[in-house]
Amino acid sequence: MNFRKYLFILIPYSWLVALFLVPFIIVVKMSLSDGVMAIPPYTPYLTLTEGWAGITNFFTNLDFENFIFLTEDNLYWIAYLSSLKIAAISTVITLLVGYPIAYGMANASNEWRPTLIMLVILPFWTSFLIRIYSWMGILSQEGFLNQFLLWLGIIDQPLTLLNTNIAVYIGIVYTYLPFMILPIYASLEKLDLSLLEAAKDLGCNRTQSFWLVTVPLSKAGIIAGCFLVFIPVIGEFVIPSLLGGADTLMIGTILWQEFFANRDWPVASAVAVILLLILMVPIILFQRSEQKQREAE
Amino acid sequence: MNKIIVSLIATLMVSTSVAQAGEVRVYNWSDYIDESLIKKFEQETGDKLIYDVFDTNELLETKLLAGGSGYDVVVPSASFLQRQINIGVFQKLDYAKLSNASNLWSIIKDHTNKYDPDNAYSINYMWGTTGIGINVDKVKEVLGDDAPVNSLALIFDPKNMKKLAACGVHLLDAPAEMIPAALKYIGEDPDSKDLEVIAKVEPIFAAIRPYVTKFHSSEYVNALANGDICVAFGYSGDILQSRDRAAEADNGVKVTYNIASEGAVMWFDQMAIPADAPNPEGAHKFLNFMLDANNMATASNYVYYANGNLASQKLLEKEVLEDEGIYPTDATLNNLFTTTAYGSKVQRKVTRMWTKIKSGT
């Protein structure tokens, strides 16, 4: 009996070890080595064939200079902070846009709900890259949005949207909106309607009962949605590089530059390790809130 | 960048699958071949040709340095090829299998000798220049009829750029191309590796930075053709392809390519075989196929880049051979210069400076 239980646990854990822990250890190892022009472009290179000498040699050659290097140039901190800022702002916008949609879906009649969920999920059927590419077409100077606004007479000069931070925000909010809507919808759908009736009986008007009953009860959904948006957006690379301008500084693009332009795999790995550490903070907070939620239930 | 991602995904898939006999895997620049040649190669040899694309030398180099790229033929620029040869990325060519090598053009061979002595590891695919692409009507509208359209002053003089900003300017997101041009503009050695000299271009770029729409190495082909931008500093053939796309679309956009009168970078893209190529036999077959005068002419007629194949010249379309933007006149040719790659330390400083130029940080 016990054996079977462990076997069941073993499968997911071995996945975690193979797909997360092992790659992470490789990245950490790389971040502690030196860059050279060779194949692969870093050293020391752990050679097990040399036996114990190889291992001691490997450890004596390790140093933290790549991490020290990151503290010497403020570019990296500015890029981390800028990524955090972009992630925070887009999370708030996504929440403001996503909550009303989720609320509307949860309050729709039963026959409409599957269709509405379908409409939220539908964009996933098209490649993410193609959807971002179409935003390039929509936001460009000669693009659909400018043409439409010109036609309406709202503007008389085409707006510069593409290659600005505004375009990055639009792209991020568009892409991550379903990740906000679905968890909020899931928590709103479970909402016990009799609680709202009780609030009404106790003298709440609709606005008051929304803020005092609906929002607190959907808190778990809001938190889950915010983390599902915030965490991946920090490391986002595709959206800023396609829609952003040269002044859109995100850690994903810095990482690309270290890896490809400088061929400095060790520094690139150091940037990635620190990014992971930064991400651990919200992830731990997320788990705490999940745990509290479970304890409350 | 989008192409980078697509090709990353594509090549991830390639490198994970095991190479099979009778398969030749080629990794070349985006928009750089007449696709009919792929079918023709497959018909002639019976081998399957898998053709992937990249859009920066850096992407290719990272793959090569990681090892086991799975490609049989890759096409780096000569300046990158040089240092890649030094660390043993490539295998020596077996000229016995390249019966068409006699078609090569000695002038281009002489130039590429500097990077790959005796062309032991590589042969030229195409070569070109880096210069100025303009939307003629828009630039004249903004700067007047006497706009300096064939001078580096068009992009490095803030006075001109301030006005051009309204219609859009793209510069290459490639410090190895942009810094030599700026050095040439201020009269310094464009191939300088001296950090003090290189640092002199920073204020030049800082002054024009506010007026640059985007730094990107491939988007300008479409942007120029659509009329989204009016000036691009880019690769000769890309701008000429843009010219043709605009003409085909018949959208009233007229694009021209000018080699700056101050001088321009002359670059060479070289076909080479990685040391760990799964199918070197097939790679030589592909190289020999591309050395065929007829095939090379087909490629150049399509992509508007000059090639290093002398025999192909009589098969080129007149509008390609006689276009001074593709095959420059002797006077212009003498004014062109070549550059070599930066060393690791200088490269890091250059990348850092480039980030500062682009983002202000």
In terms of pLDDT, which residue wins out, B215 or A35? B215
| A177 in the same domain as A59 | no
With an 8 Å Cβ cutoff, is B252 touching chain A? Answer: no
CATH number for the B130-265+339-359 domain, one of 3.40.190.10, 3.40.50.450, 3.90.1150.10, 3.30.2400.10?
3.40.190.10
| A173 in the same domain as A37 | no
A94, with CB counted inside 10 A (0-12, 13-18, 19+), is: buried
Q: In this structure, what CATH number is given to the domain that contains residue A165?
A: 1.10.3720.10
Chain B residue with minimal CA distance to A259? B62
Q: Is A186 part of a structural domain of the chain? A: yes
CA A245 to CA A215: how far, in whole Å? 37
Q: Where among A7, A39, A63 does a domain terminate?
A: A63
Whether the per-residue pLDDT at A116 is higher than 50: the answer is yes
pLDDT at A93: 98
User: Structure tokens of A77?
Assistant: 């901190």
Question: Which residues of chain B are modeled with pLDDT < 50?
Answer: 1-2, 8-9, 11-18
* Best A260, A264, A267, A269 residue to mutate vs chain B (most B CBs within 10 Å): A260
pLDDT at A48: 65
Domain count, chain A: 2
Whether the bond into A40 is cis, omega within 30 of 0: yes
Whether the per-residue pLDDT at A277 is higher than 50: the answer is yes
With an 8 Å Cβ cutoff, is A128 touching chain B? Answer: no
Say whether A141 and B89 touch across the interface (CB within 8 A). no
Q: Where among A10, A29, A63 does a domain terminate?
A: A63
Q: Is A3 part of a structural domain of the chain? A: no
Chain A residue with minimal CA distance to B229? A141
pLDDT at B231: 96
With an 8 Å Cβ cutoff, is A218 touching chain B? Answer: no
CA B170 to CA B165: how far, in whole Å? 10
pLDDT at B18: 47
Q: Is A14 part of a structural domain of the chain? A: no
With an 8 Å Cβ cutoff, is A249 touching chain B? Answer: yes
| A83 in the same domain as A23 | no
Longest CA–CA separation in chain B, Å? 60
Q: Output the CA torsion A108→A112→A115→A120 (10° steps).
A: -10
| A84 in the same domain as A36 | no
Return residues 168-227 of B near A (CB < 8 Å): 168, 175, 209, 212-215, 226-227
Q: Is A11 part of a structural domain of the chain? A: no
| A226 in the same domain as A155 | yes
The minimal CB distance from A249 to the residues B87, B228, B359 is found for B359
| A174 in the same domain as A88 | yes
Q: Where among A40, A63, A86 does a domain terminate?
A: A63
Q: Is A9 part of a structural domain of the chain? A: no
Chain A residue with minimal CA distance to B165? A160
The partner residues of B306 in beta bridges, in order of sequence, read B127
Show the domain range for A222. Answer: 74-296
- What is the percentage of chain A residues whose pLDDT exceeds 90? 48
Contact list in B for residue A253 (CB cut-off 8 A) is none
pLDDT at A225: 95
User: What would the pLDDT profile of A128-148 be if each residue is shown by its tens digit?
Assistant: 999 999 999 899 887 899 999
Q: Is A200 part of a structural domain of the chain? A: yes
| A83 in the same domain as A218 | yes
Query: What are the start and end residues of each CATH 3.40.190.10 domain in chain B?
Result: 2-128+266-327, 130-265+339-359
CATH 3.40.190.10 fits domain B2-128+266-327: yes
- Cβ count near B336 (within 10 Å): 18
Q: Is A246 part of a structural domain of the chain? A: yes
* Best A34, A39, A42, A131 residue to mutate vs chain B (most B CBs within 10 Å): A39
Minimum mean pLDDT among A78-92, A239-253, B42-56, B225-239: which range?
A239-253
User: String of b and e for B19-58 (b: at least 16 CB within 10 Å)?
Assistant: beeebbbbbbbbebbeeebeebbeeebebebbbbbbbbbb
Q: Is A7 part of a structural domain of the chain? A: no
Say whether A37 and B83 touch across the interface (CB within 8 A). yes
Say whether A75 and B88 touch across the interface (CB within 8 A). no
